């Protein structure tokens, strides 16, 4: 997490520095700018500077990934919302025959499955693995918020999913990057 923040700030800082440096370098050639006349400078220069300010402000936002769009959404029942936000639940299982989840490092949206499917968090996929349901380890079960396999199977059945012991599933591990503010 810290490494990612450091890399992100370094890249942003470098881009901001390049923009600032370019603006400063323009002073060296300020005579060139006079050629275009006041109106052109006012309109196009103004638009250019506005775009620059917008870009710099976007780059200097509080921590948010440079990649804007996630690759998909995952749906959670309302009762799990706080558990996901506070990291108590950091893994989900998806049957292997369902749609393939995005791979490591992808950004996704977490949505509350209440009909409207409202997004409540932005998270990053840390790891995707596969397992047979009966082989899922206790550690992974606790990450999913279950105490044992029976509980996982019962909950799955309640949501209309048959997860017998032989079913193969994706185990998607994730980390919440940004909470709310959508």
Partner 1 sequence: MDGLAYFLVLVMFIASLVVLLLGVITLKTRGLRSVFAALMTTFLIVNFCWLFGPGGFLGIDPSFYSLLGGSATILTFPLATFLILMFLHPRNLVKQIPTFSLLMIPAVVLGSWASQIGVGASQVYEIQYVYLFVILCICLGLVESIWGWLGSRTVRNQCYLFILAFLVLLATGPLYDYELEMLGFWGLRGASLGAPIVGAFILAPLVLANPMPFVKTPYLTISKSRPSYDLKPGRCYGISEKRPKYCYTLFKDLSDSGYPTMVLTSSDPGRLRMDLGLSGSTVIGMTSRDTSKTLKATNLGRVLFTLTEFAEKNRKPVMLVDCLHYMLSNNDTMDVAELIQKLLEPIERNEGVLIMSFSLMTKEEKETLLGLGVLHLQMPPPEDVISRILAAYLGDLSEYLLKLSSRMMSKKARDFTVEDIPELSSILAHSMRALGQATNEEAILRNWERQVIGLRQSLTSFQNAPIAFLSSDGWRDWDSLDWIKKPRRRRPKMRMVAGEAVTPKALATTHRKVSLHDEVSGVFVDSLGDFGSDLLKMECASLGIEFKTMTKEDVEMLADSAATTLFEMGGFVNVESANVSMKATAENLKKDLGRIFQETVEWYPE
| Residue 110, H or E segment | strand 107-112
Nearer to partner 1, 19 or 131 (CB): 131
Nearest approach, Cβ of residue 32 and partner 1 (Å): 12
Residue 11 CB, nearest distance to partner 1 (Å)? 13
Which DSSP symbol is given to 181?
Answer: -
Q: What is the nearest approach in angstroms of partner 1 to the Cβ of residue 101?
A: 8
Q: Let me know: does 67 contact 110? Beta carbons within 8 Å.
A: no
Buried b (16+ CB within 10 A) or exposed e, 81-102: beebbeeebbbbbbeeeeeebb
Classify 65 as helix, strand or coil.
coil
Nearest residue (CB) to partner 1, 135 versus 148: 135
For residues 75 and 119, what is the distance between their CA atoms, to the nearest angstrom?
Answer: 9
Q: How many CB atoms lie within 10 A of CB 120?
A: 19
Phi, psi dihedral angles at 10 (to 5 degrees): -65, -45
In the complex with partner 1, the residue whose CB is nearer, 139 or 158, is: 139
Q: Which is nearer to partner 1, 13 or 103 (CB)?
A: 103
Interface ranges with partner 1 (CB under 8 A):
96-97, 100-101, 103-105, 126-132, 134-135, 168, 170
User: Closest CB to partner 1 among 47 and 96?
Assistant: 96
Quick one: which of 128, 170, 165 has its CA closest to 149? 165
The distance of closest approach from Cβ of residue 2 to partner 1 in the complex, given in angstroms and rounded to an integer, is 14
In the complex, what is the shortest distance from the CB of residue 6 to partner 1, in angstroms, rounded to a whole number? 16
């Amino acid at each position: 997490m810290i490494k990612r923040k450091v890399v992100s700030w370094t890249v942003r800082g470098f881009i901001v520095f390049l923009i600032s440096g370019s603006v400063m370098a323009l002073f060296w050639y300020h005579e060139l700018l006079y050629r275009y006349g006041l109106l052109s400078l006012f309109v196009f220069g103004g638009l250019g500077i506005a775009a620059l300010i917008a870009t710099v402000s976007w780059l200097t936002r509080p921590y948010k990934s440079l990649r804007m769009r996630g690759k998909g959404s995952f749906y959670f029942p309302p009762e799990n919302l706080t558990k996901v936000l506070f990291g108590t639940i950091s893994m989900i299982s998806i049957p292997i025959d369902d749609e393939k989840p995005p791979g490591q490092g992808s950004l996704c949206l977490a949505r509350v499955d209440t009909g409207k499917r409202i997004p409540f968090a932005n998270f990053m996929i840390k790891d995707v693995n596969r397992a047979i349901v009966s082989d899922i380890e206790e550690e992974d079960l606790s990450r999913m918020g279950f105490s044992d396999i029976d509980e996982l199977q019962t909950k799955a059945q309640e949501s209309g999913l048959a997860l017998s012991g032989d079913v193969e599933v994706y185990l998607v591990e994730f980390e919440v990057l940004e909470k709310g503010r959508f």
